[in-house]
Amino acid sequence: MVRKRAAFPQLNELVVGTVTEIHDHGAFVTLDEYRGLRAYVPLGEVSHSWFKSIREVLKVGQKAVFKVIRSDPRRGIVDVSLRRVSDSERRAKQLEWKRALRAEKILESAAKMLGKTLDEAYEEVGWKLEDYYGEMLKGLEEAATKGADALRVAGVPDEWIPAVLEVAKQSIKLKKIRKSGVITLRCVEGGLPALKKVLTSWEQSLQIPDTVSVEIYTIGAPRYRLDVEALDPKVCEKIFEGVVSTILSEAKAAGCTASVEVLKK
């Protein structure tokens, strides 16, 4: 079960709950992220729209996003509202929930490989990734693309790293962004050596991250295709512009003529 580190939800927090009981005066739900903590939905907090029966809106077993409107840890009381959750809040919470589920499955698989419990996985891996990256799945995505250092820098113990890394790489397939262009390059003086020097000039001046690939190949002289792939659209754009700028600058310095046409997706 996806969980929060805190034992009790805060006022106005968005929570995922499962309806367990329905009465004429309201309904009871269990809060999935808080180990099944029981919360109450007053009748007036069920919907903005008029309804004849609460059972027209809620069903036993239904999972929904609620907003905490009362939180009393001392008395163990939590009241939640369905009608106060906006569409944008619901979508954001549902996405957060799905990502948390994915992260938990990865932690659970890694724990089984090591003969450990899910609670131990949260304590020794999950919360450390959340502290460092702001979200567990974000940390696991970093590990899947950048390797063990992404876990080690977050404080994940060495005994966990091989298992977490193996499961993360198997489970997380991030889609790369591609930006392409066609370079038209003519070097009357200098010939082939000048062409090669211009087309590879970026290799010495730019630092290309391991998660980025840059390829230039011949379409048919004097036209050459440039492909840049990266996980982050902003990084892809930055590297593409850097390669293009370097090639155009080098071409001018070498007495060559060059132009670039960005290809549409």
Q: What is the mean pLDDT of residues 114-135?
A: 96
Average pLDDT, the chain: 93
pLDDT at residue 231, as a whole number: 84
How many CB atoms sit inside 10 A of residue 207's CB? 7
pLDDT at residue 45, as a whole number: 92
Q: Is 155 left (phi over 0), alpha (psi -120 to 50) or beta?
A: left
Question: What domains are there in the chain, each with its CATH number?
Answer: 14-85 (2.40.50.140), 88-171 (1.10.150.190), 177-262 (3.30.70.1130)
What's the pTM?
0.68
pLDDT at residue 47, as a whole number: 87
Mean pLDDT check: name the lowest of 25-29, 51-55, 84-88, 127-131: 51-55
Phi, psi of 156 (to 5 degrees): -70, 130
Reading the block at residue 184, the tokens are 């038209």
pLDDT tens figures, 130-146: 999 999 999 999 999 88
Given a cut of 80, whether residue 91 has pLDDT beyond it is yes
Helix or strand holding residue 192 (H, E): helix 191-199
